[in-house]
A and B are shown apart, each in its own frame.
Chain A
Amino acid sequence: MAVASDVPKESFRLSMLIYDTRYRSITIQIFVLILFGLFLAWLLNNTAVNLATRGKEFNFGFLWQRAGYDIGQAIIPYTNDSSHFRALLVGLVNTLVVAILGCILATILGVIIGVLRLSKNWLVGRLMTVYVEVFRNVPLLLWILLSYVILSEATPQPRDFRVTDEMAAAGEAPAASMMLFDTVAVTNRGTNVPAPLFDVSLGSVNLLGITLNLTILAYIAVIAGSVWINRLILAGARAQQEATGDRPVTWWKSILVLFGPVIALSLALGLHLEVPELRGFNFQGGILVAHSFTALLIALTLYTAAFIAEIVRAGILAISKGQSEAAFALGLRPGRTMNLIILPQALRVIIPPLISQYLNLTKNTSLGIAVSYLDLRGTLGGITLNQTGRELECMLLMMLIYLTISLIISALMNLYNTSVQIKVR
């Protein structure tokens, strides 16, 4: 009877580095690492040589020099005497404002369109299909340029809003009129919207070099408090429902808690709107929203909404028909079926692709350059870069900032994603 003997111990031979699968992966990795190192060294060497021949050096000192250019939409205080770093911050805030507003609006519009596309209504379903296909298959740049051009060329001039004495006497209407109860004026120079003003100012406080507006802080605190109390009320209602089977009526409490304090604070601070008025050749008062901002926001919203609509539709379709049939069998109305059965399950399918749409939207804000919207790309990667001639530093810094924003968004959304994912027991 043959006895299986141990595999003879082979001594290590050099050829095993290539032919033995145990060692080959190590060989390949070391090889790749060496190649990558050589490539990196080559790049760095080239960069150093190129910088030297151009007489430039690699440092970020230029960020603290005077910028010397104006930025139309500066949400944080900025003048042309501020530093390039300040300009960078203004650009970053502008990027974030468009990105956040765009994400919110695109989500709302996208969910509505996605649900309507699934509606049993033939006409509405077709209309939404047309919307989705048209907006998905045409470049975003077109929507940005088109909305900008329409806003700035097809809108009336400020003087068209004027009512002269003769026109008033003849009872004629001016060529253009303001919208929304005479509070918003869209002219070819921009959109004039009313500005919120306060009679009582809480002032501001300087904390570690950052100026904080106390009024805004007060609003944030009040809203956060209201939301927290509302959650407590709802949790109490749920506890009572689970204990007794009866859910107490909470909607009026919620409305009171959510809106009461904010309204009270506004009354206390004397909130009122400063409506833009035509004085001289232009509108005075209120806030002038540049068309570049509006166009970028509209285009990003409409374009991304088409993608979000498809994601929402796919998510709802992915929930099997059996789930909704089971819900109907339980006697739930269609609306409640959607809220209680379909949406919670569909969210799990929807959220991962939704994250990447948010990331895309954020990155697409850089197309604002097409309409001269001064976002991060326009300030740091545009005017600052051209003025200082520091291409390498500006581009690297800009890429780093965009990368950081992307990573933060995906981290936050992944956190949310894990909270809605199915809990496996």
Chain B
Amino acid sequence: MANASYVRDQMLPPQAPPVSEAGVVKWLRENLFSGWFNTILTLVGVVVIYWLVVSALPWWLNSVWNAESLSQCREIVAATAGEGATGACWAMIRERWHQFIFGFYPPELWWRPVMAFGLLFAAMAPVLFAGQKKNLTLILGAVGLFLLVTLGLAGAPMGGWIASLVLVGGLIALVQVMPGRLLWFTAIYPALCFWLLWGGSVWTPIVAMLGFVVMGGAYLALVGRLGPTASALIGVFLAVFWWLFLDIPITTALASMIGGGLDQVDSDQFGGFLLAITIGVTAITFSLPIGILLALGRQSDMLIVKTLCVGFIEFIRGVPLITLLFTASLLLQYFLPPGTNFDIILRVIILVTLFAAAYLAEVIRGGLAALPRGQYEAADALGLDYWRAQRLIILPQALKISIPAIVSTFIGLFKDTTLVAFVGLMDPLKGVTQIVRADIDWKGIYWEPYIFVGAIFFVICFGMSRYSMYLERKLKTDHR
């Protein structure tokens, strides 16, 4: 072995990988052509995309934005792109967008829903991004900018414009000092929103909100002596008493003494996305607490409470939402005292809320059941009473587990707001589109309105699902 003729004494420089194992070629081989089956799939996919593009692209490119009727649109398309070409007629959206957004809400008052919509984000911000000063300031700034522009566009009176800007400015200042206190704005927002949307005397929402003050005051005054359950019951009782017997006389008296208010808008003028968002946001807000209570009731040791909750949840989940909406429009007149008649939107909101609450209850029950038994026992061992244990130990964990399912219930709820069309309300999908399509000018148009409405729904629902993913990541505490 001594006459080994050649021994390499230095490393060879590394060679470049083969062409098929690097760069684009490798990616293509691995991701698109890794076998005969995958190749077929890729080819099918390419054909599908090609077909979609070929059939839809000319239609998009030949879009017409300025026309007065569908036939005129078609003439323009034929003139510009040649005979037989297809083209979208977005002129319909250009002419009718306000019906899709506001329904028959009076045009000179459009600034009110716009302002309510802008402030909605200011009210949601402290809930969605609790304690993040930078995000809160950013959102409030965006809301201010949004209101500055849109209120100008919607022709708001100077008073409304200045008031909203001052309000947003004040909120931004508040965030800099005490970010936690922004929740107070969230608490009064429902009253403000109601007043902006429906108008009427300024005292109606204020006196109604005072009912909550009565409830809270009674609770705080009595909790030391009677314990939480009894004082909460008394507080609720007093508040109900307030709303049933004192609310209307006080409101009337105050309104006659000190006037002031906005022009009233009737519920049948609501429509389009204004209606969908009103119903959706209200129902989402109220269904979560009711759903939590129902879930706790279903998990309760008390047989009667449990039976009632199970009965309610299973009944609501067993019937389609449409039948519940028809209950709101047809049957409530049988179940309520003779002569009672309240707003159809309110009735629909109540039924949609109960519907969503039953689904949420099941979702949250899943979260409660997923918690290890030890958490409940640990809370008991610490000597926490039932409500403290739920509030401090159980619910934060259970809700965290069920976030994805809760948000998908919310998405479902928002999509279900379109069903109010069946009780005569003007939802964007069926109500407004039907009105537009019934117009002789736009008869026979179908892709454009549905694409427009579908796109808005998609943006909102997709945004909600992305937010739930963000929240899930943020609250993730395990280290897997």
Contact = CB atoms under 8 A, between A and B. Distances in A.
Contact of A139 (B30, B31, B317, B415): B415
B322 A120 contact: no
A381 B31 CA distance: 53
Interface residues of B, number: 60
Contact of B302 (A29, A133, A136, A146): A29
A49 interface: yes
Interface stretch (B148-156, B252-260, B454-462): B454-462
Contacts of B49: 123, 127
A93 to B, nearest CB: 17
B305 A29 contact: yes
Contact of A145 (B38, B336, B429): B429
A399 B323 contact: yes
Given A29-B302, A392-B334, A138 B41 contact: no
A398 interface: yes
B194 interface: no
Interface in B1-58: 30-32, 34, 38, 41-42, 44-46, 48-49
Interface in A134-168: 134, 136-142, 145-146, 149-150, 153-154
B422 A53 contact: no
Given A46-B335, A369-B422, A395-B326, A407 B304 contact: no
B159 interface: no
Contact of B334 (A29, A46, A403): A46
Interface in A373-400: 377, 381, 385, 391-392, 395, 398-399
A103 to B, nearest CB: 16
Contacts of A377: 320, 322-323
A36 B320 CA distance: 24
A137 B45 CA distance: 23
Contacts of B337: 46, 49
A381 B326 contact: yes
B469 interface: no
A51 interface: yes
Contacts of A407: 314, 318
B453 interface: yes
Interface stretch (A238-246, A248-256, A360-368): A360-368
Nearest to B330: A391
B430 interface: yes
A323 interface: no
A124 B331 contact: no
A205 B30 CA distance: 62
Interface in B313-335: 314-315, 317-323, 326-327, 330-331, 333-335
B450 A142 contact: yes
A122 interface: yes
Contact of A370 (B326, B330, B430): B430
A395 B457 contact: no
A149 B450 CA distance: 10
B302 A25 contact: yes
Contact of B338 (A18, A50, A121, A363): A50
B224 to A, nearest CB: 14
Contacts of A43: 335
B275 to A, nearest CB: 14
A391 B419 contact: no
A134 to B, nearest CB: 7
B417 to A, nearest CB: 8
Given A123-B32, A153-B446, A381-B326, A28 B305 contact: yes
Nearest to A149: B446
A241 to B, nearest CB: 28
Contacts of B475: none
A37 B356 CA distance: 25
Interface string B172-215: 00000000000000000000000000000000000000000000
A12 B42 CA distance: 79
Nearest to A150: B446
Contacts of B330: 385, 391, 395
A127 B45 contact: yes
Most A CB within 10 A of own CB, among B44, B333, B415: B415
Given A120-B30, A153-B444, A127 B320 contact: no
A211 interface: no
B56 to A, nearest CB: 13
A245 B402 CA distance: 47
B331 A392 contact: yes
A18 B230 contact: yes
A137 B457 contact: yes
A140 B415 contact: yes
Interface string B418-462: 110110000001100100000000001010001001100110011
17 contacts: A47-B334, A50-B334, A50-B338, A121-B34, A127-B48, A138-B461, A142-B418, A142-B429, A363-B321, A366-B320, A366-B323, A369-B422, A391-B331, A395-B330, A395-B331, A398-B323, A403-B319
